[in-house]
């Protein structure tokens, strides 16, 4: 998907909501657990209920890969069901030596037809280059995450005074452009967003952690927006597990609508 189309969808819907389809069969309504294709049936109802209020869906691949071939098939069918108007993210956190990364890219961009994939920066440019070479596909680099372990490496101060995550943003932003490269910034790191925007003012940010993880949408929008909005704010559990009963889809729709209504105030 081209950046211009993503920006158009955001402005048309007055929404920068990304719904995370991190579907856990232990948490869905009981009805789906006994169904041979229950995870896909659940996902389809969530997509139907929320598609008018979001611009993107993110699939955390671990929830599907853990089920083996059955889960991979469910991920493929779910991805195919997402409307082409919506930005489709594979939250896979891949990256390896160049030849291996080229096959990761082929799997997620060609076989599964995702628009974007999350990757880790640790192995350097040659591990990321195969993803960036795909036209109209996006590489989403881990920047500053919300987990406690971010303290171990991402927030280390280097000898030149930069924090490690700042060095990652500066370096990686030169490998691609704001047309094919995004960065992950956790919503609970909102205090760093103003600084991040000094380093990468024009890139889109994928922001998980709003909702169940306690991140503030107001803070994220206040400090993280750019002229194109520049944000995809992800909510997973708060939406897809809004209710565990028969009306789970309508409850998910209600929460997605609430997010959209909250986001509308940030559009001029």
Give the chain's domains with CATH numbers. Answer: 3-264 (3.20.20.70)
* Angle formed at CA 163 by CA 221 and CA 144, multiple of 5 degrees: 40
Tokens of 16: 């920068």
pTM for the model stands at: 0.95
CA–CA distances in Å: residue 212 to residues 23, 92, 219: 15, 21, 16
Query: In a structure prediction context, what are the per-residue pLDDT tens digits for the chain, which is 268 residues long?
Result: 999 999 999 999 999 999 999 999 889 998 888 888 999 999 999 999 999 999 999 999 999 999 999 999 999 999 999 999 999 999 999 999 989 999 999 999 999 999 999 999 999 999 999 999 999 999 999 999 888 888 899 889 998 989 999 999 999 999 999 999 999 998 777 788 989 999 999 999 999 987 666 678 898 999 999 999 999 999 999 999 999 888 999 999 999 999 999 999 999 7
List all residues 6 or more positions away from 89 whose beta carbon is below 8 Å from its beta carbon.
18, 56, 57, 58, 59, 114, 115, 116, 117, 118, 140, 206, 232
Question: Beta 116-119 vs 87-94: how paired, if at all?
Answer: parallel
Does residue 127 contact residue 117 with C-beta atoms inside 8 Å?
no
Burial (0-12, 13-18, 19+ Cβ within 10 Å), 7: middle
Active site residues: 93
For helices 69-81 and 38-50, angle between their N-to-C axes, nearest 10 degrees: 20
What lies within 8 Å, CB to CB, of 216 at 6+ separation is 187, 190, 210
């Amino acid at each position: 998907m081209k950046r211009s189309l993503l920006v158009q969808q955001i402005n048309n819907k007055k929404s920068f909501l990304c719904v995370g389809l991190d579907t856990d069969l232990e948490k869905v309504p009981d009805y789906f657990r006994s169904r041979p294709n229950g995870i896909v049936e659940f996902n389809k109802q969530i997509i139907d209920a929320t598609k008018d209020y979001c611009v993107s869906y993110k699939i955390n691949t671990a929830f599907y890969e853990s089920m083996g071939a059955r889960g991979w098939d469910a991920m493929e069918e779910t991805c195919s069901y997402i409307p082409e108007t919506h930005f489709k993210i594979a939250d896979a956190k891949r990256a390896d030596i160049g030849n291996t990364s080229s096959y990761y890219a082929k799997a997620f961009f060609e076989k599964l037809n995702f628009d974007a994939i999350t990757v880790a920066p640790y192995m350097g440019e040659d591990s990321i280059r195969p993803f960036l070479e795909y036209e109209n596909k996006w590489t989403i680099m881990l920047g500053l995450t919300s987990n406690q372990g971010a303290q171990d490496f991402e927030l280390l101060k280097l000898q030149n005074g930069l924090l490690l995550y700042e060095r990652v943003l500066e370096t990686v932003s030169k490998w691609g452009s704001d047309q094919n490269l995004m960065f992950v910034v956790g919503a609970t790191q909102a205090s760093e967003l103003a600084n991040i925007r000094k380093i990468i003012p024009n890139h889109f940010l994928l922001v998980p952690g709003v909702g169940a993880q306690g991140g503030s949408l107001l803070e994220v929008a206040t400090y993280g927006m750019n002229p194109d909005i520049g944000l995809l704010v992800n909510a997973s559990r708060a939406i897809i597990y809004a209710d565990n009963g028969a009306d789970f889809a309508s409850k998910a729709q209600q929460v997605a609508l609430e997010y959209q209504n909250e986001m509308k105030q940030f559009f001029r």
